[in-house]
Amino acid sequence: MQLTDEEKGMRDGAEGDATAAAMDLLIRYGEALGAEHLCRVRNVAGTMTQPSPVKHKLVKEGGWAKSYSVINLDTDRDVELPRMKVPTCQLQSGFGPDSIGIAPYPKENVELQTTGESYFGAHGVNILSTCTPYQVGNLPTRGEHVAWMESSAVVYANSVLGARTNCEGGASTGSASLTGRVPCWGNHKDENRYGTALFDVRTEVSSFQDWGLLGYFVGDQVQEGRPVVTGDGIRLPELADLKHFGAATATAGGVELFHIPGITPEAPTVEAAFGGAAAPEAIAFGEAERRWAYDTLNSQGESDEVDFILLGCPHASLDQLQRIAAALDGKRLHNDTEMWIMTPRALRTIADASGYTEVIERAGAKILTDSCPAMSKAAPDGTRVFASDSAKQVHYLPAILGIEGWFGTLEDCVDAAVTGRWRGELR
């Protein structure tokens, strides 16, 4: 590993013990991957406050500095934590104070997280508390090297923003925050950003649901490849559609980068998406493939009696909140049904000011921030059957909570919330 003088200085303790531990970790990590040098990063999206049994124990023993040392720097030494060297944000955490009395989630976790936010806020971490930092102002520029966690955020950063990140972990982001470096490998390098598979979309893909179904099929087909998606069926997506599409590809597979020629920034053409190399034979996405994705996602639903509806995975955008409010306006949730809508804290504030929250709450639904049922392993007490418009949440939540799951449109989900019955169909 080639190091600059500044990096050698950090390794040797010129910027303190914590930074030395961070640089040591990055060198070990980079060497294991065969990276020849480190990339400079000035945007880190990681996690440090999310409660876990280990974190409770470490914070009790030695405060948040201890937790950061062990979990985010992989050292048992007691190190003093400086301010973060580069802009860093906290991604999604556990449920926060707004969940008290709504989500069956341990109060001690909420308290732990709250103390963590004060501690890390004072150390230069922006407490965004969302899986969609790009929706609340954390936007790297095209070509910028960043260090992000969270699969749905990583695929969005690489593909839609044209930034460059691998799917990092708590330790590598923790170390990147203190050093402004991350091993330069994988998605940071030009040669690893070209397509590996081609898709020909032959059926219309225009709605939020369509983009989720396409993403689920594409992810299943390519697994960790880099899909290039083209075809006459594609209609210009909104950002929420691309968010859903990317999250679905990273759920059914492990996609970290996709190209949609003419839409995403690194692929003005199919040729450019493959770096000038010959494109492989296209995989078709037609009605049969769309049906496969829908039926696979809905294979975890049996009973049509729905207890719980979850919207906002990845966390809802303002446009989505506005649409949800419009769909719920003048309606009232069924007595046996609950609906939670996940969104970033910052957007919740705007939803409050814009009157969306009032409309949503008047219908009996709740807006929650910071987390989601899959992340915090919590749904309303007694939930047996849930429904969502998110392919990712429907894929994961049944296994996490041992419940049934239905996937449909926003309209299907609102209908289920109001009637207590699942009547969704692929249209």
Tell me how far, at minimum, the Cβ of 154 lies from ligand F3S, in Å. 11
Cα 111 to chain centroid distance, Å, stands at: 24
Kindly tell me which of 75 and 99 has the beta carbon lying closer to ligand F3S: 99
Tell me how far, at minimum, the Cβ of 99 lies from ligand F3S, in Å. 14
Tell me how far, at minimum, the Cβ of 81 lies from ligand F3S, in Å. 25
Tell me how far, at minimum, the Cβ of 371 lies from ligand F3S, in Å. 7
Kindly tell me which of 97 and 286 has the beta carbon lying closer to ligand F3S: 97
Q: What is the dihedral of CA 13, 17, 23, 27, to 10 degrees?
A: 90
Residues written for the chain: 427
Sign of the CA dihedral running 170, 173, 176, 182: positive
Kindly tell me which of 20 and 341 has the beta carbon lying closer to ligand F3S: 341
Kindly tell me which of 195 and 219 has the beta carbon lying closer to ligand F3S: 219
Tell me how far, at minimum, the Cβ of 344 lies from ligand F3S, in Å. 10
All residues at 6 or more sequence positions from 288 whose CB lies less than 8 Å from its CB, including other chains: none
Kindly tell me which of 67 and 376 has the beta carbon lying closer to ligand F3S: 376
Cα separation, 116 vs 127, whole angstroms? 10
Kindly tell me which of 179 and 388 has the beta carbon lying closer to ligand F3S: 388
Element containing residue 358 per DSSP (H, E): helix 356-362
Inter-CA distances, 174 with 20, 73, 189, 318, Å: 12, 6, 22, 30
The vertex-114 CA angle with 108 and 117, nearest 5°, equals 140
Contact between 409 and 209 under an 8 Å Cβ cutoff? The reply is yes
CA nearest 237: which of 257, 217, 264?
264
Kindly tell me which of 21 and 131 has the beta carbon lying closer to ligand F3S: 131
Tell me how far, at minimum, the Cβ of 399 lies from ligand F3S, in Å. 12
Contact between 344 and 136 under an 8 Å Cβ cutoff? The reply is yes
Tell me how far, at minimum, the Cβ of 131 lies from ligand F3S, in Å. 3
38 forms bridges with which residues in the sheet? Answer: 183
Tell me how far, at minimum, the Cβ of 308 lies from ligand F3S, in Å. 15
Kindly tell me which of 75 and 369 has the beta carbon lying closer to ligand F3S: 369
Instruction: For 163-181, give the DSSP string.
Output: -B--B--HHHHHHHHHHSE
Contact between 311 and 408 under an 8 Å Cβ cutoff? The reply is no
Contact residues for ligand F3S (CB under 6 A)?
Answer: 92, 131, 152, 247, 313-315, 342, 372, 374-375, 392-393
